[in-house]
Chains A and B, each alone.
Chain A
Amino acid sequence: MSTAPANPKIAGDEFRISYERQGDDLILQMGPQHPSTHGVLRLELVMDGELVKQITPHIGYLHRCFEKHAEAMTYPQVIPYTDRMDYLAAMNMELGYVLAVEKLMGLTELPERLEFIRVIMAELQRIASHLLAIGTFGLDVGAITPFLWCFRDREKILDLFEWASGARLLYNYLWIGGVMQDLPDGFGRRALEFMDYFEPNVQELNDLLSFNKIFIERTANIGVMSPEVAISYGVGGPNLRGSGVKWDLRKEEPYGIYDRFDFDVPVGTGEFGPIGSTWDRYIVRVREMLESIKILRQAFDQLPSGDPNGATPRRIRPAAGDAYMRTESPRGEIGFYLVSDGSDKPFRCKGRSPCFTAISAIDAIGRNSLVADAVATVGSLDIVLGEIDR
């Protein structure tokens, strides 16, 4: 005979907002409407004076049932939903999903031109996403000019995307085994013009922000993520590389035609402080933009002519089975796990979010810092809540 506990704990009690002091500590709610949380994120900070003793992230404010929706959609209809997962790097999300479906279907023979278009779009999107990450990180620590300059350059990339796909942010451009429409005439010329214009701007950005003494002093000693912490939390992308771990899926597990390009993987070296500081994560993004330009130049050099939609399957109805595909998005390792029951709709579609792992490490790296430093630490992780909550 079992007896009920005297004080039954209500389910979800631990997630309830507590406003009371706990002893001498104060609970401070940061968010959900806070400009530095990059979306709708609530951080519960246990404060001892100005010192943050514990950070608990609360997510779910942007939950849109993406995974459940996907079960009611045909495979191509899910692509607009993946756009909305990570709205700052929609091309990379599409690429991850599309590659997962192709793996599920066993579609391997694709036109050369299509593969190149995918690399071009993914790398342009990486630059656009990193520009926003850099700009908003600068804004978080109080630098407004770089934010405006980054947006100015990002607009030019969005113009290119708009020209190719018709949309500026949510493209639905990369399709399963094809693209929505071929690149317009002269796309390569205009993209190369942009790169010639943009490369000196990176140098300008370095002079203005990256190597500014005030900025370095502000960022180089806070939010230190050691490689052990990064790996144990499963953090990926620039956050992991900022901790000095040389891990890039484009190199380690090349998907598409990434193995044909020559590029480096920049890692944080701890130039101005311990390895894995917010400054390291920031500078990795700046350097990655230059590497992306390197890839883009090679891709435009070799871009073959032909029809990118030559091998597009007419009916998308994968055989029963499952597939997992992971790709390198600007925020880290995104994965899509798809289960098919043989119909034209996915039986299950699971997204693996890099931002989720990054925000889960916030307590480990943001503890015992000041509130202002916690803001900078969250900013340096470059999280997108749309992807965490899905």
Chain B
Amino acid sequence: MRQYFVNIWQGFTTPLTGMRLTWRRLFKPSVTLQYPEERWELPSNSRMQLFVNMDDCIGCAQCERACPVRCITIETIKAVPDEVEDTTTGHKKRLHVPVFDIDMAKCCYCNLCTYPCPTECIYMTPSFEDAAPDRFDLLYHFTQITPEQAVELEEKSRKFDEAEAAKKAAAEAEKEAAAAAAE
């Protein structure tokens, strides 16, 4: 019988305690932000959209190998010696990169690709408002080389290789001829 009244008493008082708390909460400032108008500040190391600074990319494809979901695609063309430029970090750009695609729809934002990069040209930026209506819009092309230029470069590279091979063969033949003459 006593327990019955205790239960009723607690049934009244404990919800009232809760109501007191929620009532007090009413007069405290709101913790929510009205997102498009108000924004919170993201830390500078936030891992959102990937970005590649192609001026510094040397085409080593280490990021491609580090990616656990294989969202990076890199294709390279060997550069001829007079085209080799320096990056801002002092590395030689021995390869042209006609294809550097990142499929952000596949990316798992794990940051594993940014650590092996020798020139620190691939990094994650705090920009996160890059939603797209189509999945294929999320395939980002970073290269600055157009397909026509790529064909040209490939041709040039091939010719250079052929010329080198011819030179080498000529030198070899000369050497052999000299050896034959000596005999």
Residues of B within 8 A of A141 (CB): none
Residues of A within 8 A of B42 (CB): 162
Residues of B within 8 A of A165 (CB): 45, 47
Residues 154-185 of chain A, each 1 if its beta carbon lies under 8 Å from chain B, else 0: 01000000110111001010000000110010
Interchain CB contact under 8 A, B10 and A213: yes
Interchain CB contact under 8 A, B17 and A207: yes
Give 5 nearest A-B pairs by CB, closest first: A80-B110, A77-B68, A166-B47, A213-B10, A166-B45
**A76→B110 CA distance, assembly (Å):** 11
Residues of B within 8 A of A76 (CB): 112
Residues in chain A within 8 A of chain B (CB atoms): 73, 76-81, 83-84, 145, 152, 155, 162-163, 165-167, 170, 172, 180-181, 184, 204, 207-209, 211-214
Interchain CB contact under 8 A, B111 and A172: yes
Identify A212's interface contact among B15, B31, B46, CB under 8 A. B15
B165 within 8 A of A: no
In B38-54, the 8 Å CB interface with A consists of: 42-43, 45-47
Chain B interface residue number, banded:
20 to 34
Residues of A within 8 A of B43 (CB): 162-163, 166, 184
**A180→B111 CA distance, assembly (Å):** 9
**A83→B112 CA distance, assembly (Å):** 14
Residues of A within 8 A of B45 (CB): 165-166, 181
Interchain CB contact under 8 A, B14 and A214: yes
Identify A166's interface contact among B15, B46, B108, CB under 8 A. B46
Interchain CB contact under 8 A, A80 and B21: no
**A208→B43 CA distance, assembly (Å):** 34
Identify A77's interface contact among B13, B66, B109, CB under 8 A. B66
B90 within 8 A of A: no
The closest CB in chain B to the CB of A180 belongs to: B111
Residues of B within 8 A of A170 (CB): 108-110
**A208→B7 CA distance, assembly (Å):** 17
10 A-B pairs within 8 Å (CB atoms) are namely A77-B66, A77-B68, A78-B68, A80-B108, A145-B22, A162-B43, A166-B43, A166-B45, A184-B43, A207-B18
Interchain CB contact under 8 A, B112 and A77: yes
Interchain CB contact under 8 A, B68 and A208: no
Interchain CB contact under 8 A, B18 and A208: yes
**A213→B15 CA distance, assembly (Å):** 7
Minimum Cβ distance to chain A for residue B18 (Å): 5
The closest CB in chain B to the CB of A149 belongs to: B25
B11 within 8 A of A: yes
Given A172-B112, A180-B111, A214-B14, check contact A152 B31 (CB 8 Å): yes
Q: A181-B45, A184-B43 are in contact. List 20 more A-B contacts (CB 8 A).
A: A76-B112, A77-B68, A78-B68, A80-B68, A80-B110, A84-B108, A145-B18, A152-B31, A162-B43, A162-B46, A163-B43, A166-B47, A167-B46, A170-B108, A180-B111, A207-B17, A208-B17, A208-B22, A211-B14, A213-B13
